[in-house]
Protein backbone atom coordinates (compact mmCIF):
# COMPACT_ATOMS: atom_id res chain seq x y z
CA UNK A 1 0.00 0.00 0.00
CA UNK A 2 1.13 3.51 -0.76
CA UNK A 3 -0.30 7.02 -0.90
CA UNK A 4 -0.33 9.68 -3.58
CA UNK A 5 1.56 12.67 -2.17
CA UNK A 6 1.49 15.14 -5.05
CA UNK A 7 0.09 15.28 -8.56
CA UNK A 8 1.65 17.55 -11.16
CA UNK A 9 0.62 17.91 -14.78
CA UNK A 10 2.95 15.15 -15.99
CA UNK A 11 4.08 13.18 -12.93
CA UNK A 12 2.92 11.81 -9.60
CA UNK A 13 4.86 11.47 -6.34
CA UNK A 14 3.92 8.42 -4.29
CA UNK A 15 4.98 7.63 -0.74
CA UNK A 16 5.42 3.93 0.00
CA UNK A 17 5.09 2.09 3.30
CA UNK A 18 8.84 1.66 3.61
CA UNK A 19 9.38 5.44 3.60
CA UNK A 20 10.48 5.82 -0.02
CA UNK A 21 9.05 8.38 -2.41
CA UNK A 22 8.79 7.36 -6.03
CA UNK A 23 8.00 9.59 -8.98
CA UNK A 24 6.06 8.08 -11.86
CA UNK A 25 4.52 9.52 -15.01
CA UNK A 26 0.82 10.34 -14.74
CA UNK A 27 0.18 7.73 -17.44
CA UNK A 28 1.10 5.04 -14.88
CA UNK A 29 -2.13 5.73 -12.97
CA UNK A 30 -4.57 2.97 -13.92
CA UNK A 31 -7.80 4.52 -12.60
CA UNK A 32 -9.82 7.65 -13.38
CA UNK A 33 -9.67 10.85 -11.36
CA UNK A 34 -6.64 10.26 -9.13
CA UNK A 35 -6.37 12.61 -6.15
CA UNK A 36 -3.75 13.47 -3.59
CA UNK A 37 -4.01 11.26 -0.47
CA UNK A 38 -5.54 8.36 -2.43
CA UNK A 39 -4.42 5.00 -1.08
CA UNK A 40 -2.94 3.00 -3.94
CA UNK A 41 -1.16 -0.23 -4.76
CA UNK A 42 2.11 0.09 -6.68
CA UNK A 43 3.14 -2.65 -9.10
CA UNK A 44 6.44 -2.67 -10.93
CA UNK A 45 6.88 -4.34 -14.31
CA UNK A 46 10.57 -4.04 -15.05
CA UNK A 47 11.24 -0.30 -15.16
CA UNK A 48 7.57 0.66 -15.50
CA UNK A 49 5.12 1.23 -12.67
CA UNK A 50 1.40 0.56 -12.62
CA UNK A 51 -0.61 2.41 -9.97
CA UNK A 52 -4.06 1.08 -9.02
CA UNK A 53 -6.44 2.45 -6.41
CA UNK A 54 -6.55 0.29 -3.30
CA UNK A 55 -9.90 -1.19 -2.37
CA UNK A 56 -11.27 -0.25 1.03
CA UNK A 57 -10.36 -2.94 3.54
CA UNK A 58 -13.34 -2.66 5.84
CA UNK A 59 -16.46 -0.72 6.60
CA UNK A 60 -19.47 0.29 4.57
CA UNK A 61 -17.94 3.46 3.21
CA UNK A 62 -14.50 4.85 2.51
CA UNK A 63 -13.02 8.27 3.06
CA UNK A 64 -12.49 10.20 -0.17
CA UNK A 65 -9.34 12.03 0.96
CA UNK A 66 -11.04 15.42 1.26
CA UNK A 67 -12.93 14.86 4.50
CA UNK A 68 -15.94 13.35 2.76
CA UNK A 69 -17.28 9.84 2.36
CA UNK A 70 -18.13 7.51 -0.52
CA UNK A 71 -20.76 4.79 -0.14
CA UNK A 72 -22.37 2.33 -2.51
CA UNK A 73 -25.53 4.01 -3.72
CA UNK A 74 -27.65 0.84 -3.60
CA UNK A 75 -26.73 0.16 0.05
CA UNK A 76 -27.37 3.76 0.99
CA UNK A 77 -30.76 4.11 -0.74
CA UNK A 78 -32.31 0.71 -0.05
CA UNK A 79 -30.79 -0.32 3.27
CA UNK A 80 -29.79 2.93 4.94
CA UNK A 81 -32.70 5.10 3.81
CA UNK A 82 -35.60 2.80 2.92
CA UNK A 83 -35.26 0.07 5.56
CA UNK A 84 -33.63 1.94 8.43
CA UNK A 85 -34.32 5.60 7.65
CA UNK A 86 -36.76 5.85 10.55
CA UNK A 87 -33.88 5.07 12.90
CA UNK A 88 -31.69 7.77 11.36
CA UNK A 89 -29.24 5.31 9.78
CA UNK A 90 -29.15 7.31 6.53
CA UNK A 91 -28.05 10.42 8.42
CA UNK A 92 -25.44 8.50 10.42
CA UNK A 93 -24.00 7.10 7.16
CA UNK A 94 -23.75 10.63 5.76
CA UNK A 95 -21.85 11.76 8.85
CA UNK A 96 -24.69 13.90 10.19
CA UNK A 97 -24.64 12.42 13.69
CA UNK A 98 -26.74 15.16 15.34
CA UNK A 99 -29.49 14.97 12.73
CA UNK A 100 -29.36 11.17 12.95
CA UNK A 101 -29.96 11.30 16.71
CA UNK A 102 -32.84 13.76 16.23
CA UNK A 103 -34.36 11.53 13.57
CA UNK A 104 -33.97 8.50 15.83
CA UNK A 105 -35.70 10.23 18.74
CA UNK A 106 -38.35 12.35 17.01
CA UNK A 107 -39.16 10.94 13.56
CA UNK A 108 -42.25 9.21 14.94
CA UNK A 109 -43.74 12.69 15.38
CA UNK A 110 -43.78 13.23 11.61
CA UNK A 111 -45.81 10.03 11.00
CA UNK A 112 -43.31 8.78 8.40
CA UNK A 113 -43.18 11.98 6.34
CA UNK A 114 -39.53 12.74 7.24
CA UNK A 115 -38.46 9.21 6.25
CA UNK A 116 -40.45 9.37 3.00
CA UNK A 117 -38.96 12.73 2.01
CA UNK A 118 -35.40 11.55 2.78
CA UNK A 119 -36.00 8.36 0.77
CA UNK A 120 -37.38 10.25 -2.25
CA UNK A 121 -34.43 12.64 -2.18
CA UNK A 122 -31.98 9.72 -1.93
CA UNK A 123 -33.71 7.95 -4.85
CA UNK A 124 -33.66 10.98 -7.12
CA UNK A 125 -30.05 11.84 -6.26
CA UNK A 126 -28.71 8.28 -6.55
CA UNK A 127 -30.54 7.21 -9.69
CA UNK A 128 -30.96 10.62 -11.35
CA UNK A 129 -28.53 12.44 -13.56
CA UNK A 130 -26.02 13.33 -10.82
CA UNK A 131 -25.06 9.74 -9.88
CA UNK A 132 -26.87 7.73 -12.54
CA UNK A 133 -23.72 6.37 -14.17
CA UNK A 134 -21.66 5.63 -11.04
CA UNK A 135 -21.96 3.08 -8.25
CA UNK A 136 -20.97 5.34 -5.34
CA UNK A 137 -22.51 8.42 -3.79
CA UNK A 138 -20.13 11.00 -2.38
CA UNK A 139 -20.90 13.16 0.64
CA UNK A 140 -18.79 16.13 1.73
CA UNK A 141 -17.59 16.60 5.32
CA UNK A 142 -20.93 18.20 6.25
CA UNK A 143 -22.93 15.24 4.89
CA UNK A 144 -24.20 17.01 1.75
CA UNK A 145 -24.38 15.23 -1.61
CA UNK A 146 -21.40 16.17 -3.83
CA UNK A 147 -20.34 15.15 -7.29
Mean pLDDT for 25-49 is 88
Say which residue, 37 or 105, is predicted with more confidence.
Answer: 105
Q: Note if the pTM is more than 0.95.
A: no
pLDDT confidence bin for 57, thresholds 50/70/90: very low
Query: What pLDDT shows up at residue 65?
Result: 57
The pLDDT mean for the chain works out to: 87
| Nearest residue to 66 via CA among 146, 136, 133, 135 | 146
Mean pLDDT for 1-20 is 90
Query: CA-CA distances (angstroms) from residue 47 to 32, 43, 122, 141?
Result: 23, 10, 46, 39
Query: What pLDDT shows up at residue 63?
Result: 61
Domain extents in the chain:
2-53, 61-146
Mean pLDDT for 76-84 is 94
Res. 58: pLDDT tops 50: no
Which fold, 2-53? OB fold (Dihydrolipoamide Acetyltransferase, E2P) (2.40.50)
- Give the DSSP letter string of 36-104: TT-EEEEEEETTEEEEEEPPP-SSSEEE-SSS-EEEEHHIIIIIIIIITGGGTHHHHHHT-HHHHHHHH
Amino acid sequence: MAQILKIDSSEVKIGTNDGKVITVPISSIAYPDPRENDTVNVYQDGKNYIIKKANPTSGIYQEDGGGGKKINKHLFVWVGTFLFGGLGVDRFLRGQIGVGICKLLFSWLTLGIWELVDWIIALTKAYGSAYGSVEEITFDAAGNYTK
